[in-house]
Amino acid sequence: MFGTPSIQENLGYNFMSDDNASKWKGQFLHALQEVQLQVHPSLSAKDDALEYIENLILNLLSSLCASQPHTKQDVEDRVHKNFPDPIDKWAIKEAQNAIKKGNRNSPLVLPVDKIHQLLVREVLGYKIDFQVTVYIVAVLEYIAADILKLTGNYVRNIKHKEITSQDIKVAICADQVLMDMFSQEEEVSMPELEEPIRLESLTYEEIVKDFIFEETQYMRDLNMIIKVFRAPFVKHFPTSKVSV
């Protein structure tokens, strides 16, 4: 997850192929900068941070289009299926609000018209109602704003003024819901410490990163133990209540 986010193929359409990457690369960057300023006006974001968010959003867009949606309900069903609780409900609520406000009063910053054209012409290959695209874009923008808001809170806590891609990775890793969303296709990893370091010599930022790494490793080890021993335990103790 914490390299360059991978873009899944969508029924033959690969967002990151040589032919397609140039059509999408940079399409969201200016809008994402506006979103960042909306949620944290006192901060700025480096180009690598905006590019990282853009790749995450394209990853979600690929996922939403994988079921070849024709209606808003198709998109909503896909969100319920692929997004963890409760972020699925929040994203759907934002999308429904965007639909109700209409085109004139649309709160969306991402380029809906451009995305609609690309979806119809490049990704889906068939016409969809413009409101379907509005719904999709509203979901994407909500997720982007949520990530940027969370990351901005982290950056302010460590007394920085600029959001980097590394800050985004740390913030996502600290939030279980976002972790669940973006680790479905990719393995989550954090840099290992080569040797113990005295806490007194670490900054707040370094302590947070170390804590997140240790917690992530613990959860991975715990999940592995559960997978290995749960089945034999149930077999030998069938009357026991195993809720894990």
Segment 45-79, tens digit of pLDDT: 999 999 999 999 998 998 898 889 999 999 999 99
Looking at the DSSP bridge assignments, the partners of residue 163 are: 45
Q: Which residues contact 173 (CB under 8 A, 6 or more apart)?
A: 2, 179, 188, 190, 212, 216
Sign of CA dihedral 234, 238, 242, 244: positive
Domain 9-189 class?
A: mainly alpha
- 85 in the Ramachandran plot: left (φ > 0), alpha (ψ -120 to 50) or beta? beta
pLDDT at 14 over 70: yes
| Overall average pLDDT of the 221-226 stretch | 61
- The residue type found at 153 is N
pTM of the entire predicted model: 0.72
For the chain, the domains span 9-189, 191-244
- The residue type found at 35 is V
pLDDT at 12: 57
Hey, what are 159's tokens? 């007394």
pLDDT 10s digits, 135-157: 999 999 999 999 999 999 989 88
pLDDT at 146: 93
| Overall average pLDDT of the 234-243 stretch | 60
Looking at the DSSP bridge assignments, the partners of residue 162 are: 44
- The CB density around residue 111, as the number of other CB atoms within 10 Å, is 15
pLDDT tier, 175 (very low <50, low <70, confident <90, very high otherwise): confident
Give CA–CA dist 213/190, Å, rounded.
6
pLDDT 10s digits, 19-37: 888 888 888 999 999 999 9
